[in-house]
Structure 1
């Protein structure tokens, strides 16, 4: 039983009034931070060319309506005599649409006819099933379903969608940090899997983001283990400054046990409907999208003094967002439990009514926090922020273990190397995207820095000897930052020029595996030579090719 939670539910009326006043001060302090201005934008241009798709009963009247203001093309999914229309009409059984505002491409085909295609700026999709199935639809694409009110709203918005438009470029990408792939082997697909707009695809060893499809949820930055993908609307530093200002004002006004309630556009109406019923210690903070929050932001909030973090999601957000946040909350809580901070500290809500929200917030988390609030600021690089937060939590923890085991798939941990199998070929070094695995120029030595490891698995996938195993855990203190030697061996010197070119273990392995190979059978000494000497030896004439000489009589 969580005694602190039960005490909080019982409540002190006087303290509750203080908390309510302190919450007001916190909200004002957060709002006083200057609004974030996007550094770069993405531009669209639409001349209003509109494609309407659907059966005659569903689409014909709406095509007529839109044609009063927009150049319309109608593709009917059934055979129907429409008579004369001031716009092109086609019949089709198969239709495909892709693109975004100002750049849609459509293909359709009627039975027995050649495929046709066209380019459009806007699409009104009244087909039985959406032609674009992503949870987050691209700008300019409307699939309102059967609801007449939603159809009227879509048509009204489409009539205003001509001209030039722009939106923020929501993300920043540092490809040198990306752990997606190396040498054709896949490591991390987290951002690709979580994107509800299908804006992210693999591009060789890196990923590629289509900024026109990006919906600005920020989930890619939340799940990215390395910080290669980061959310830029607002920046982490801006969000951190709002959190720090809100909590400082809350405590200065006499509030206790604050909970930060992160919400997006979908949660605002629910909060407004229950504004007078919410606990005084719950501080709402609006975000562009709740999927942009993650473990770095939450742990930093606790370091600043928050007793808990609640994230409010509604049915508007994609289900994979909730799954990703739930996974990160479990990792974060496991870390805090390992340090013996009494919890719970996190709450993920997915509610649809104000009443459900009010009931859930009566059980808002009331976890234990460090005795001294942190003063660091959020960094643009999430791994740096995590380092600051983990160091602060560890210093003030009741228990200070060397490490805490984490669930499989967590983006923190170590690797175990089977020294009997490892040949020190250093393939893992070339595959590691975060410089966690390193070699040594002057000796056959495999080194490791746990602080840098993101558990992408590229080292294990690349290892030809299957000698590497991932060990998900959170290490603390100096051991996390120290360089440790995972394996080492004696250097092997070329038998011809004495230059070191490998390890004793590697040469022994090669001799064992290649002794029957045609290129080395009968010439095993070549395996004991460096590359230069091996070539020289292969180019020298052999005795069996020498032409014997005879003395002239």
Structure 2
């Protein structure tokens, strides 16, 4: 059991208020059931003819292959033995000895490459895989559809064989995500910035592809963790979309308050958590103020929906996870909760307000719910509706929480990795080359248009770090914080200098520091040897000077004559 305990929250409830809260919860759940269903989603299709690959040592693979061959076409790859032994005695299905096996894919499209002793590499495609090896060939926490690695338990192996026998035909699943490449902060100019979605995906479905990411919809398991950790909203959850989930949360809290309930705690749970919650509810042990909200996966909610729930009157948000979920999901939610709690505490709301429950049985859940958060809430519940854009929903929630805050502040220092912040630029190092402006995916950094300035809009910054990674002078440092100053929405100048004027036409084309830096770096370059004055010219004049015959008077000579 892993429960973040909350000091002073385990006080037994007032029985009379608990009864009122239970009645209010019934009314709230009734209101939730009356909401329309979400819009249908696009789907991903699979086709399986049942061609099954069985992998494992001889003693395990052959008996189970014999059993499965009565139902499906089978091929066996033995992880032990030699080539001659693999063909004796004759069998009704092909048997190979595999060395250096590589397996990738998903239902209907598993590609296996292997090499038997003394033979050339072989490759084949299969629809299904039964992996009985000592360690899975596909080691992701969330396995692809059609791949079963049941381990040594005979009961689990029998269940896997039964499942495979029923995986013949056409199948489909929802496309769980939506991706907006224009918002993605993964990379620019072959530099990596935000890699959060790649690192949190337990299905191995996300990979960096140049400056963007690619999500394999056939591998995606729909956990939504990638959308939770995405700082920009480039990845959005679609099963259902955040606005629909937000509508459910707002309706649940509104109906509960209208029915006289107090101090509601929103309990977000998935299918595994629902079974534990039902067991506890059958005992009448779920506190009346706990409002369950079922979702496809608990990793699909983050600070945008949590802070919105607190703005709508929730005294707390609890997220229920079991050991079935990947450990990186819990780590990601912990980080998100640290950010959310820091914001609430910084605004003066006594808490805590968020709770991550990792439990394995109903008794552990009961203990966790007795310590459910009961934080201070705004005096007035917010009326906004969630936006389709994650950052806009965050803005709505933060604006309301600030407006009602017991302790208005100008800024709150946040933990590293937060999606809000400023930049500290060292003017002694910054040459105003504007490489950071070209790298910024959020338009937080801007040039000075006709002036040598580096400008910054803090509201847009997602702290992806691309500017700091790109800066050739190592002049930029991230400052995670949440600013409430009016200037956060306006461009502010981080660095500026006087322009450098072309020595030939007097047109401004750069900065003094930039030109000096170029002179220092290119002084020994053969293309500029004896022609360093060209570095002091604009592009047009540099070309003219390069095309001028050497027997004609040079710019330097003309300047010297004028001085005389």
- CA displacement at 1:457 relative to structure 2: 0.8
SS in 2 for 1:274: helix
Aligned pairs (5 A) from 1:143-292: 143-275=149-281, 276-292=284-300
Per the TM alignment, residue 447 of structure 1 is displaced from its structure 2 partner at its CA by 0.8
Deviations 1:306-359 (A, max 9, x none): 000000111111000000000010011111111111000010011111111111
Q: Which residue is equivalent to 2:449? A: 441
Q: Which residue of 131, 134, 138 corresponds with 1:128?
A: 134
Task: Find the aligned partners of 1:367 and 1:157 in 2 and give their Cα distance.
Answer: 46
Tell me the CA shift for residue 47 of structure 1: 0.7
Q: Does 1:541 align with 2:549?
A: yes
Deviation at 1:240, TM superposition (A): 0.4
Q: Following TM superposition, by how much is the alpha carbon of 1:477 offset from its aligned partner in structure 2, in angstroms?
A: 4.2
Change beyond 3 A, Cα 1:97–1:496: same
Instruction: Confirm or deny: 8 A CA contact 2:431 2:514 kept in the other structure.
Output: yes
Instruction: Return the offset for 1:512.
Output: 4.2
Equivalenced residue count is 543
CA distance in 1, matches of 2:415, 2:329: 19
> Which has the higher mean CA deviation after the structures are superposed, 338-347 or 177-186?
177-186
* Residue equivalent to 1:551: none
SS in 1 for 2:388: coil
For residues 11-90 of structure 1, what are the structure 2 equivalents within 5 Å?
11-79=13-81, 83-90=89-96
Pick one of 96, 105, 113 that aligns with 2:119: 113
1:351 to 355, 359, 362: 359
Tell me by how many angstroms 1:74 deviates: 1.6
In the alignment, the residues of structure 2 paired with residue 420 and residue 259 of structure 1 have an alpha-carbon distance, to the nearest angstrom, of 51
Instruction: Output one character per residue of 1:467-487: Cα deviation in whole Å (capped at 9) or x when no partner.
Output: 111111111142321221111
Deviation at 1:219, TM superposition (A): 0.7
* Cα gap change, 1:467 to 1:124, in 2 (>3 Å): same
Distance 2:235 2:421 in 1: 20
State the secondary structure of the residue aligned to 1:388: helix
Q: Distance in 1 between matches of 2:191 and 2:99?
A: 40
Show the counterpart of 2:467.
459
For 1:323-338, list aligned pairs within 5 A: 323-338=331-346
Structure 1 equivalent of residue 311 of structure 2:
303
Secondary structure at 1:57's aligned position in 2? helix
Structure-to-structure mapping, 1:398-417, within 5 angstroms: 398-417=406-425
Matched, 1:419 2:421: no
Per the alignment, do residues 286 and 523 of structure 1 end up closer, same or farther by CA in structure 2, a change over 3 Å counting?
same
**In structure 1, distance between residues paired with 2:358 and 2:10:** 23
Is 1:489 equivalent to 2:491 in the alignment?
no
- Following TM superposition, by how much is the alpha carbon of 1:524 offset from its aligned partner in structure 2, in angstroms? 3.1
Q: Does the 8 Å CA contact 2:9/2:371 hold for their aligned counterparts? A: no
CA distance in structure 2 between the partners assigned to 1:124 and 1:305 by the alignment: 50
2:97 maps to 91
1:131 is paired with a residue whose SS is coil
- Deviations along 1:123-170, one digit per CA (max 9) or x if unpaired, are 011111111100000011011112222222221121111111111111
C-alpha separation in 2, matches of 1:284 and 1:8:
19
Structure-2 separation of matches of 1:309 and 1:364: 8
Shift, 1:85, TM fit? 2.4
**Aligned equivalents of 2:261 and 2:472: distance in 1?**
58
Equivalent pair of 1:314/1:351 in contact (CA under 8 Å): yes
Stretches of structure 1 that go unaligned for 5 or more consecutive residues are: 547-553
Task: Kindly indicate whether the alpha-carbon contact (under 8 Å) linking 1:501 and 1:530 is maintained by their aligned counterparts in 2.
Answer: yes
Larger mean CA deviation between 102-111 and 52-61 belongs to 52-61
Contact 2:10 2:370 in 1 (8 A): no
1:201-249 CA deviation, whole Å, 9 max, x = no partner? 1111111111111111111111111111111111001000100110111
Partner of 2:558: none
Gaps of 5+ in 2: 1-5, 555-564
Question: Structure 2 CA distance, aligned partners of 1:5 and 1:319?
Answer: 25
**How many Å separate the matches in 2 of 1:296 and 1:350?**
21
* 2: CA distance, partners of 1:128 / 1:8: 45
Counterpart in 2 of 1:499? 507
Could you tell me the TM-score, scaled by structure 1's length? 0.95
User: Which SS does the other structure have where 1:96 is aligned?
Assistant: strand
Deviation at 1:443, TM superposition (A): 1.3
Q: 1-side partners of 2:125 and 2:9: how far apart?
A: 63
Question: What's the offset of the Cα at 1:72?
Answer: 1.0
d(CA) in 2 for partners of 1:75 and 1:492? 70
Q: Measure how far apart 1:40 and its partner are.
A: 0.9
Structure 1, 518-527 or 256-265: larger mean CA deviation: 518-527
Tell me, yes or no, if the aligned pair for 1:121 and 1:140 is still in contact at 8 Å: yes
Q: TM-score, normalised to structure 2's length?
A: 0.93
Contact 1:38 1:169 in 2 (8 A): no
Return the alpha-carbon distance in structure 1 between the equivalents of residues 131 and 526 of structure 2.
Answer: 64
Tell me whether 510-519 or 17-26 shows the greater mean CA deviation.
510-519
Moved more, 50-59 or 367-376: 50-59
Looking at structure 1, the residues matched to 351 and 154 of structure 2 have their Cα atoms a distance apart, in angstroms, of 48
Output the CA distance in 2 between the equivalents of 1:263 and 1:210: 26
Work out the CA distance in 2 between the residues paired with 1:453 and 1:70: 55
In structure 2, how many angstroms separate the alpha carbons of the residues matched to 1:178 and 1:274?
A: 42
Q: Structure 2: how far apart are the matches of 1:66 and 1:445? A: 70
